Amino acid sequence: MVAAKSTISLCLVIVGALVLPAGLRVINRFAPAAGVAPSYLPSIEQPRVREPFDEATAAQLRESRPDFVVIGDSMAGTRIVPGHISRMVGGRGVAALLYPGSSVAYWYLTFKNLVANNPPVRAKAAIFFFRDDQLTLAFQRVTPGSLDRVARDQEPVLDRVLAANALGTFAGVHRAVQSAYHGERTREWLAPLLAQAPARIVAPGEDPKTFLESMNTTQFSLETLRKTTVADLPESTEESLDFPGVVGHSLLPEIIRLSETSGVRVAFIRVQRRPTADGPPPQSAALVKYVHDLREYLAEHGAYFQDEWGDPDLPLSIYGDGDHVTNDARIPYTEHFFQKNRRLFQ
């Protein structure tokens, strides 16, 4: 009798743990719903509030109609001076579409929505700066909302690629949990409430959202961080360096396809990571093989590729923190880059 009762009580606890969270769906009905829209990544996200598309930059590009566009993260940001390239190519327009901490999903959308499909923009080339295996890491640095500013309302290609990469074997379980409980939807309104609650106490007269933004931009800006943190030194894994195994699930084929349909040539510059005092940075055999395969793949598809690794003109002295180049070295680097890739600008 006691055993039967114990079994029932065990079942009740398990059922409670699994069924009660479904109450989130009911709570969500009473929650603030402003701005909730279906995600552009419906396979991996529930409807949520999103940041609007960056129309201002799109309009600016339509007006300036640059001939060359530089796309990337802080690797390009600390190396390239767009105005200087512009002067070297006789005043032709060069735009920089850079976002610190971004990765290939962000670059793909930037290229697609701001350059290739943004008439009358008709760039001759889009130049992507990347490190090691970044071009085939579809999910790197993708977090909810991180792509909002460059995403249109529907992004079926990106959705398909990310869904194929999402969360490995158990993607279906994660999706089922989200679809059963609508937890992401609750998170949309509850997480900001929690984050803002202490701000309301600490700075009662101030808008909590403004307070948090100001705190992040002043107290935790890049300038305030330790060099080791700013350096941002990701490392590759054995799996990610299997080029034939990963390229099919990456966004690289989509960038190439977009290049072919739009007529915008694409160029990929693999920046040299921080060298040692004795020479270029060491590379694993797997990374050497990866770069070799990447080079062949891009050549086969008519894309431009430049590997900076081992360039004697890029010594340790021009590097600041991590893989970034010092501010003083930006102009010399830009000139060196232009000279080395002159044919790209013809």
Partner 1 sequence: MIFHSLDFLAFFIVTLAAYWSLPMRGQNLLLLAASYLFYGWVHPWFLLLIFATTFIDYWSARNMARRPEQKLAWLWLSIITNFGMLGFFKYFGFFAENVAAVAASVGWHVPPAAFAILLPVGISFYTFQSMSYTIDVYRNHAAARTSFVDMAAFVSFFPHLVAGPIMRATNLLPQFERERRFSAAAARDATVLMVWGFFKKLVIADNVGVIANKVFALESPEFPVLWAGVFAFAIQIYADFSAYTDIARGVAKWFGFDLIRNFEHPYLAASPSEFWHRWNISLSTWFRDYVYIPLGGSRVGAWRVATNIMITFLASGLWHGASWNYVLWGAYHGALLVIDRMVGSVWSPTDRARRSLRIVQVPAMFVLTCIGWLIFRETDLPQLIHHVQLNPWGASAPGVLTGSYLFLLALLYSVPLWVQDLWAELHGPDLSAAIERAEALVSWRRTAAQAAVCGVMVAAIVVLRSQAALDFIYFAF
- Contact residues toward partner 1 (CB under 8 A) are 2-3, 5-10, 12-21, 23-24, 143-144, 169-170, 173-174, 177, 181, 183, 186-187, 190-191, 194-195, 197-199, 201-203, 211, 215, 218-220, 224-227, 229
Cβ neighbors of 16 (< 8 A, separation 6 or more) are none
- The distance of Cα 198 from the centroid of its chain, to the nearest Å, equals 30
Taking only Cα atoms into account, the Rg of the chain, rounded to an integer number of angstroms, comes to 24
Distance CA 307, CA 77 (A): 18
Concatenated DSSP letters of 311-328 = -TTS-GGGB-STTPBPGG
Q: Is 103 helix (H, G, I), strand (E, B) or coil?
A: coil
Question: Minimum Å distance from CB 206 to partner 1?
Answer: 9
Q: Which is closer to partner 1, CB of 21 or CB of 42? A: 21
Q: Across-strand partners of 130?
A: 270
Closest Cα to residue 103, out of 224, 238, 232?
232
Q: Which is closer to partner 1, CB of 3 or CB of 34? A: 3
Which amino acid, 1?
A: M
Q: Which is closer to partner 1, CB of 219 or CB of 346? A: 219
Question: Minimum Å distance from CB 65 to partner 1?
Answer: 38
Distance CA 25, CA 183 (A): 8
Question: Minimum Å distance from CB 224 to partner 1?
Answer: 6
Q: Which is closer to partner 1, CB of 22 or CB of 164? A: 22
Question: Minimum Å distance from CB 186 to partner 1?
Answer: 5
Question: Minimum Å distance from CB 120 to partner 1?
Answer: 39
Q: Which is closer to partner 1, CB of 1 or CB of 34? A: 1
